[in-house]
Amino acid sequence: MKFDKPKSIGILVGIVISIFLIGQQLGTLRFLSVLMTGVVVNSNSTDQDIWVIDEVTKNVNVLNKIDARVVQEVRSIDGVATSYSVVIANTSVTFPGGKTTAVNLVGSDGPVFIAGPNPSKIIEGSLNDLYQDNSVAAEFFNSKDLGVTLHRGQALEINKKAAVVKVLTKNAQGFGGNFMFTSLKNARFYGGLSPDQVSAVVVKIKPGADKQSVINQINQTFYGVKAWDVAELKKSTVSEILVTSNMGVSFGSLIVFASISGFFIIGLTLYSSALDRLVDYGTLKAIGATNGYVTRLILTQALLFAFSGYFMAVLLLFLFKSGVANAGLIIDLDWQLNGLLMAITLFMSVGGSLFAVFKIKRLEPASIF
């Protein structure tokens, strides 16, 4: 490593670039996966709740209307504590100056406001402000898409009806569209929706009740709807979008090719370095060094390259995370992602070093003299 600096630098650069690109793509994909389930993630629902939607839909972003009577009738199921209506209306929002854009208006009743926004994501105002007839909650990071600087008290029109931003959220974003939150009454008023229909029903179960049993009872009792475990609904939504949009293939192919290219670049560089020092390795074996000793020597170099390159790449990822956070792209570099990146680094570095290991193992000391 010390006496072949060009190759050492080349190996480190290969590791850093590969791991940075892989981490960037995985982090972005995880962020987009959260956006895909934004209807659930931004709500005040918990993992113990059940979502009841139309029986055809497998994507929570594309909800068909169901009979509003289900909201009351589902409470007759054994194990159900209560239920809430959720309405999502596709609306057109116009700002002063004529800027018009499409917005998904999400409505639910207070004081819970089960459809959101989640209080942890409110930066101005409070959920109580949504009780007012003309009030809505808007997302801070949607300012760029909407072409306006959103603030509390911002006047606007929703489907040509006057409204005011009374609550401002941060990171309450959706996939492929902007969210605004309001009360159930306001959502129906602005969206022109019938009081006889809802988009979803959120069911809370009693303490100690078996959630899967409640889900099965709902599916057996009601026609035209399907009850979902929250985790399963999110998983289904992500799968549907990744498959239909080919995003999974796009991200997956880049990650695979980055791993493979890093593996061979590092492996061939280490192999080339071993070829340049065949005399040194042959001399070591001639004076008694075993194949095991030489293997450990090469693998030790590979591990040093791996750890050094990994920490450099992670440092760049944290800088990237800080840089894009202000634009609303939230990259979560948790221990699972870091562990995966470490495993990929070891695969590329240690796995690539095996090219050199096999070459040196076959080396006969007499052949170098």
Identify which has the larger pLDDT, 362 or 307. 307
pTM: 0.82
pLDDT above 80 (res 92): yes
In the chain, what are the domain boundaries? 5-35+246-368, 44-228
Lowest mean pLDDT among 188-197, 223-232, 317-326: 317-326
* pLDDT, average across residues 143-154: 82
pLDDT tens figures, 200-242: 999 999 999 999 999 999 999 999 999 999 999 999 999 988 8
The top-scoring range by mean pLDDT among 11-25, 113-127, 294-308 is 113-127
Instruction: Specify the pLDDT at position 107.
Output: 95
* pLDDT, average across residues 345-359: 82
pLDDT above 60 (res 123): yes
Q: How confident is the model at residue 151 (pLDDT cuts 50, 70, 90)?
A: confident
Instruction: Specify the pLDDT at position 367.
Output: 59
pLDDT tens figures, 250-283: 888 888 888 888 788 877 777 777 777 767 777 7
pLDDT tens figures, 324-343: 887 778 888 888 999 999 99
The top-scoring range by mean pLDDT among 21-35, 207-221, 330-344, 355-369 is 207-221
**Separation of alpha carbons 363 and 369, rounded Å:** 12
Q: How confident is the model at residue 365 (pLDDT cuts 50, 70, 90)?
A: low
